[in-house]
Amino acid sequence: MISGWRRVHGGWRSPSSTFPDLPPIVCFRPPSGGNRTLPPGVDPASTPTLPLGRLFEENVMRLAPRPPPGLASVLLLTAMLAACGSDEPGEGQRGTDPGVDPAEAPAPVAATPPGSAEGVLGLLGTRPDEHLAVQGELPCADCAGIRTTLILDAGGTFQMDEAYLGVSPERVAHGDTLFGTRGRWTVTEDRARVRLDGFDDGPRYFRPTSPEILLLLDRQGEEIESELNYELARLPRIPELAGALQVRAAFTYMADAPGVVLCTSGFRYPVAMEAGYLELERRYLAEGVPPGAPLRVHLTGSVEARPAMEGEATGATFVVRTFEVADPGTPCPALEVADALAEGEWRLTSLDGAPVPTLPDPGETPTVSWDPQESQLHGTGGCNRYSGRGFLRGSELVTGGLAGTRRYCEGVMEVEDRVLEILTAGGSLRFEEGVLRLFQGPVEVARFRR
C-alpha cells in the first residue's frame, strides 16, 4: 500500500501530493478568456486558440504516452488542465474587487486530486452526444435493493432510472416499482463531486473514485459511513431507460401552444396533445389562470420524440399520463429563477470560478438585468453598455446576440470580452440563497448578486 493512501468504498483516496513523472505543461490566458495548454518552448502567439476538448487531445496527449482506456491517468491529465483554470492573484489580471466580499465567490482551485469530478469531464469528452452510463444496486429501507442506472451527457444533463427490487406483489401490480428522473448535473465548487438536480427531495451527490466508479454521497455531499454498497459501476454501452417521470411542474397554455417547465431541473418541453393532456387543459381553463400564466401541478408522464411544430424534424415532448393540481405555494425553483432575474440589476461577483478581477473603476463592475416583458437583456461589461434579445426557456438563458457601445477602457477589456462571451452563449441558471449562478454545461462560469 502506498504511504498516505487509504481505501474508501472500493477506491483509493490520495493525500495532497504531486506526480513528478507526469510531463510539464505551461498555462496562460489568451485575450478571449479561454485557457490554453502548451508544451514548454512553444510561443503562445504562434498557436491557434483551441476548444478544451481539442486542447486536451492535441496538446496534453502529445506530452505523455496515451493511457490504456479506463486507467486513472486520464483523470490525472484532466486534473492538470483544471490547474490552468484560474490565475493566482498577483500573478496575472485576477485579484479581488474591493467591493466584493471574497466569501461570495468560490475560491480558485489550484489542482484536482485523482478520482475527481474533472475526471468525469475528461471521460465524457466535449461533444454533447457523448455519454457516461453507470449502474449499481443501492440499499433500500423497504425492499431488496434499488437498481440505479445513471446516464450523464457532456452537455450537463442526466437521466436516471430507479427500479425497486423484491417488493410486494401488490406494489408490482400497482406499477410502483420503476421511476425515472431527468435533470442537470454540475461540478461542485471543490471540483471533487458531481451534483444532480432534478429530484423533488433535493440534489444528490456523487464522487468519482476511479474512471469506472461513481460513489453515492449523502444529501450534504459527504461520504456515507456504511458497509453497504453505494457504488455505481460503468456500463459498456448506453442502455435505454423506461422509468416514468413523476415531477413537480408549471403548466402553461396559450394559443394552442401548451408547455411545461419541470420545477427542479428547469427543463421546458412542449406538451403532446394526447393521453392525459385534454383533461389537463380543461382543468387549466377551469382554474381561471390568465393565458400563459403557470399552473403548478404534479405530473406523471414521459419525454418522447414527437414531430416539431414546424418542419419535418422531431423534438423532445412531454406526454402527460396523470396529473394533480398542486397548491399555489408549492416550491418551483425554475419559476424562482425567472422571478429573481427580473428583480433588477445583478452584479458579477465571480468569473470562471474566481473572484472578479480588480478593475480600475470598481463602480463599473459588470452587471446584467432582464426585462421579461420585452425579452431584453442589458447591462455593462465593465466598460461598455450592452443590450440584446434574451429570454428564459425554463431556467435556461437564451440570447439572440448582444450589441453595445465601443469604448476602450484600459485594464478592463479582457474581463468585458469574457463577460460578453459568456452572456452571448447563455446557459442554465440556478438561484440559491440570494445568488444567481450561470452554468455552461456542467461548469459554473459566472455568479451574480443583487
CB-based contact 134:226 (threshold 8 Å)? no
Query: Dihedral angle at the C-alpha atoms of 449, 105, 125, 24, nearest 10 degrees?
Result: 150
What's the pLDDT tens digit per position in 296-312? Answer: 999 999 999 999 877 67
For 200, left (φ over 0), alpha (ψ -120 to 50), or beta?
A: alpha
In order of their start, the domains of the chain are 131-234 (2.40.128.640), 245-329 (2.40.50.540), 335-449 (2.40.128.270)
- CB of 432 within 8 A of CB of 336? no
pTM: 0.74
Average pLDDT for residues 26-31, to the nearest whole number? 34
Residues 382-422: tens digit of each pLDDT: 999 999 999 999 999 999 889 999 999 999 999 999 999 99
More confident residue, 266 or 30: 266
Closest listed residue to residue 177, CA positions, set 168, 186, 185: 168
DSSP codes of every residue in 128-176: TT-EEEEEEEE--SSSSEEEEEEEEETTSEEEEEEEEES--HHHHHHTT
Alpha carbon of residue 181 to chain centroid: 15
pLDDT tens figures, 189-233 = 888 899 999 999 999 999 999 888 999 999 999 999 999 999 999
Number of H helices, E strands in the chain: 8, 26
Collect all residues with Cβ–Cβ distance below 8 Å to 307 and sequence separation of at least 6. 313, 314, 315
